[in-house]
Structure formats: C-alpha cells, structure tokens
Amino acid sequence: MKLSMWMIVNRLYPLLEMEPDIRDDAPQVLNSARLAYSTNCLHVYQEKDYIVYAGEGGTIRLFNLSLKEAFEIVQGVFDYYQDLEDDIRKAVMARNYQKAVDELFLIFHNPMMVTDGNNQMLAMTSPEDVDDSKMDPEWNYVRQYGYSSVNSVRAFWYNRRGQNFLHHGFQTFDRSIDSRVKYGGVSYCLEFNAITCGRIVLLEAEREINYGDYQLIEMLAQLLEPALGSVRNAMQQNINIFYNLIFQMPYSEKYLLKALADQNWSVSDSYQLILMQTKAGFTRGAFLDVLYRTALNQPHGCIVLRKEPHIIFLTNKGLSENTQLRQFLIQFQKNNPVLIGCSLEVQGIETIPFLYEQAEYALIKAEESQAGTDSGKDTGEKDAVFYFADYGAQAILESNVTGKYLHALHPLVVRLWTDYQKDGDSSYETLRTFLDCERSITQTAAKLYTHRNTIIYRLKKIQDLLGDGLDNSETRFYIRLSMYLIEMNEDRPIDD
C-alpha cells in the first residue's frame, strides 16, 4: 500500500512529538522508507537535534529520537498500513463492517459510521473508543435505533446550501447543517453501478480531518462499494430501496417505510415516473453519466436513479404539480439530445413497477415519432415530454396481461370508479352516459332523469379533474375503453 506524508502523520499521532510541514494534497506515492534518497520513498535523516522524514509533499520533524529508532518506527508504519489494508479487505469481504470501523479508529482518532443505501447503520465507532455522552443527538439516535433520523437525512439531502450529499464521493459539512449535529466532518456517498448503496461519515471531533483521512476513506470506499452494491436478498438490501421496488427485486418492507419517511412520502401517495434517454445516434455511457450527474444536482423534489439506458425520476407529485421538475425536463430536453417519457400518475407505491413500463412505452412512441426528424429542432413543451396517457388505449389493446392493462387505465376513470364503488358518487355514471349519448347534455339528462343544469355542473367538475378536453377523440376512446375494462373486471382489485 502506498502512503502519503499525511497518512504517516496520522499513524504516529498522538504517540510522538512531531512538527509536520506538509501540503494539503500530499500524494499517496511512498513505497517504503530509505536512509538515502530514493524516488517515491520516504527519506529519513538527522538534522541538528531532530530527525527528518522527507517525502513527496513535505516533511515531518521528530524530536527525542535517534536515527535508528526513527527509521524502525516509520518502517513499522509502512508494514502496519499494509496489514491494515489486508485486514480491512478481509473484514469487508466477510461483511464484518464493525471490525473495519474499529481497525480504522486507530488512524482516524475520530468517530465514524457506515450506513447502507437506506440509511441503516452497518457499523459505527464502538463505545469503548468514543464517549457517547460527548456526542451529538444524531449520533446517539443512530446508536439506539440503527437508522439515521428523518430530520437529519432531510437536512443533509435537501438543505445543502449548494452541496449534494447524494452525489457520489466526498462532501464536507459543518455543524450548522442540522441542529442535531454537534461536529462537522466529511461524508462519502457510496455508489455501485450508478446506484447509491451506502455512506461513510467521519466526524471531526478529536482532531482535524486531513488529506490522509480522505485517502484512507477512499480506500475503504473502493472496498465497500462492490460489497454493498452486489447484495441481492430480501434480508439484507443495501442499495437504494426504490431501485429494488421499480425493478421488482426483493426488498424489506421496513426499509421501504423508512425510505418513504425520509422523503416525506407515504404508501398511499400518487406517484409518477419519468424516464430520460439519449436520442438514437448519440453515444450513451459517459454521456448518460453526465446527464445523470446534472439531474442529481437540480432541486426538483424527486428520486433520481440510473439504469442503462435510462435516467429515472420518481416523484409523488405529478408534473402538473411539480413545476420545478417539469421546467427542468423541458429545458433539459431543449439543450440536450434526449427523449423523455412519462407514466400515468397513479395512486399507491405498489404501482411503481407498472409506471416504469408505461414510461418506457412512451419512450418507444417518442422514438418512433422522432425518427428522421432534426435532432436540433427547438421543441415546445408539448413535444418535450411524451406522455403514456396519449398512447394509453393503444397500450391496453396491445397488452395481453390483465394486471398490466388494469394499471394502464385512464386515471380519471379509476378515480371516478373508486368514488362510485365507495360511496355511490354519480360522476362516473354521468361521464359514461354522456359519452354513450355522443356528448349530448339533453340526452344525458333524460337518460339519467336528472336536471340539465345538474348534468352541466357534474361535467364541469369532471372536466376540471381531466384537465384535457373531451373534444379529443383519442381521449374519449381511451376513457371509454378504460370504463369497459374496469367494469369487466369489477371483482378484480386494480392492484392485483
């Protein structure tokens, strides 16, 4: 393991009396110690009444040591770090994260914790090394309950003052970010295959965090990311729970409820899913990664994930309400060669896998409509986002799986039907009769034995809910087809 001057200082602290004079960014290039100068080696020599460790990035002066003692000590430091790296690797491979954290305390001399992608504590500095009475409320909350608190998660993720704690890699923070946090420090967001799978947090409680700490955290991160990101069972899920939910992989119900609470979402909210992908003819890979990083850095109140070839936006507010997200997508599409597909807005967290398929279907239709067009064309809002609702009837007719087409029904029909089944609300029957009567208010009123003005009032309420007009023949067909299917399956729950 190659060391930096800071890593040597951190190992010797607080055992020896020393005076470091090192650049903040001293590189990790030292292979061993030598009594004579050699490239990429620490040069150990005596000067006046002190010993000098000279290496790339600066020097360390040590006092009250002989040259022989100083040389043997630093040789031991190189051996120690090599053993440490081997021990950490074995601990991580055995998923013994606590052992890794305990070993690293001898270097950091600061409290550290490791959490998974759902903010569950995997390991934290032991009480034998840290006096919990001197720690902040958040530290003790995690110690007691095993999860980060919802308030602190929101403070770190969304009140970040220009910082993005969901961005892969390092972010520093100070105590002012959250009243529950007593110490500043550094956070490292772990990522595997572009999916958040955990976090390392090192607090600046005992001594200042320096570049050597960053280098060691980077080493730990490289070991943790594949270990955490590759776990794929229901009992131990480390990656972002929404990723598992979307792609129908096993997940823990407990993790899901905690993740929803972190977002201030609920199981019964209405959800919408948006997919973004590059247009045909444009190289993906690195370009998609740039788009993903850009999307992560924008405030739009939704979960952003990535799975080739898509960037995924999950929101509990439809685009009609989430104006920040809508404007971001429109501007993003205008300035980048991307296509955007949007699902229906459907109630219930369990519908999310179907929403992904809907958004993907909208993208297929977007690619068909964009074939042969100028990729540099300045599109308006109508052309920027392709909505599944515009193709819902076609998708239903093409589907031969009942569960899928029931989730593809027009949201207005589902809402009116639910109200009709629950308390006999007349809006569903009014709309169905109105369409059966070729949109004749007079005939509708006569058929329902209801005053004309009452029918007009009901239709206005329905129109307000619909947003889009009933003058569109495709919309009417989609609504009527949805009514036929929901009545045909009236004994079958939509979430089946």
pLDDT at 283: 58
Q: Are residues 48 and 166 in the same domain?
A: no
Q: Are residues 383 and 286 in the same domain?
A: yes
Residue 401 lies in a domain: no
> What token pair was written down for 263?
């977002």
Q: Are residues 446 and 378 in the same domain?
A: no
pLDDT at 177: 66
Position 12 pLDDT exceeds 60: yes
Distance, in Å, from the CA atom of 412 to the CA atom of 394, rounded to the nearest integer, reads: 17
Residues of the domain holding 342: 265-387
CATH of the domain at 419: 1.10.10.2840
CATH of the domain at 329: 3.30.70
Q: Are residues 77 and 116 in the same domain?
A: no
Mean pLDDT of the chain: 85
> What token pair was written down for 324?
């920040």
Per cent of the chain over pLDDT 70 is 88
Residue in this structure with the two tokens 């993903």, named with its chain if needed: 292
Task: Determine how β-strand 338-342 pairs with β-strand 386-387.
Answer: parallel
Distance, in Å, from the CA atom of 70 to the CA atom of 56, rounded to the nearest integer, reads: 18
pLDDT in tens, 143-184: 988 888 877 777 776 555 556 677 889 989 887 767 778 899
pLDDT in tens, 79-113: 999 999 999 999 999 999 999 999 999 999 999 99
| Boundary of a domain, candidates 55, 90, 125 | 90
Q: Are residues 99 and 225 in the same domain?
A: yes
| C-alpha to C-alpha distances, 91 to 100, 123, 162, 408, 418, nearest whole angstrom | 6, 12, 35, 47, 53
DSSP-derived letter for residue 6 is H
Position 374 pLDDT exceeds 50: no
pLDDT in tens, 458-487: 888 888 888 767 888 888 888 888 888 888
Residue 213 lies in a domain: yes
Q: What is the pTM of this model?
A: 0.63
> What token pair was written down for 350?
């369990």
Distance, in Å, from the CA atom of 493 to the CA atom of 395, rounded to the nearest integer, reads: 20
Q: Are residues 417 and 482 in the same domain?
A: yes
pLDDT at 158: 59
pLDDT at 50: 95
Q: Are residues 102 and 165 in the same domain?
A: yes
How many CA atoms, within 13 angstroms, populate the side-chain half-sphere of residue 64? 5
Residue 34 lies in a domain: yes
Compute how many other C-beta atoms are within 10 angstroms of the C-beta atom of residue 329: 24
Residue 249 lies in a domain: no
DSSP-derived letter for residue 388 is G
Residue 493 lies in a domain: no
Position 380 pLDDT exceeds 50: no
Q: Are residues 277 and 379 in the same domain?
A: yes
Q: Are residues 116 and 221 in the same domain?
A: yes
pLDDT in tens, 13-47: 988 989 999 999 999 999 999 999 999 999 999 99
Distance, in Å, from the CA atom of 24 to the CA atom of 58, rounded to the nearest integer, reads: 9
DSSP 133-189: GGS-HHHHHHHHHSB--HHHHHHHHHS-TT--TTSSEEEEE-GGG-TT--S-EEEEE
Distance, in Å, from the CA atom of 114 to the CA atom of 102, rounded to the nearest integer, reads: 11
| Boundary of a domain, candidates 387, 402, 419 | 387
> What token pair was written down for 301?
């109140």
Q: Are residues 225 and 99 in the same domain?
A: yes
> What token pair was written down for 477?
């067909």
Residue 257 lies in a domain: no
Q: Are residues 142 and 76 in the same domain?
A: no
| Boundary of a domain, candidates 171, 206, 229 | 229
Report the domain count for the chain: 4
Q: Are residues 336 and 298 in the same domain?
A: yes
Mean pLDDT of 390-405: 75
Residue 241 lies in a domain: no
Residue 256 lies in a domain: no
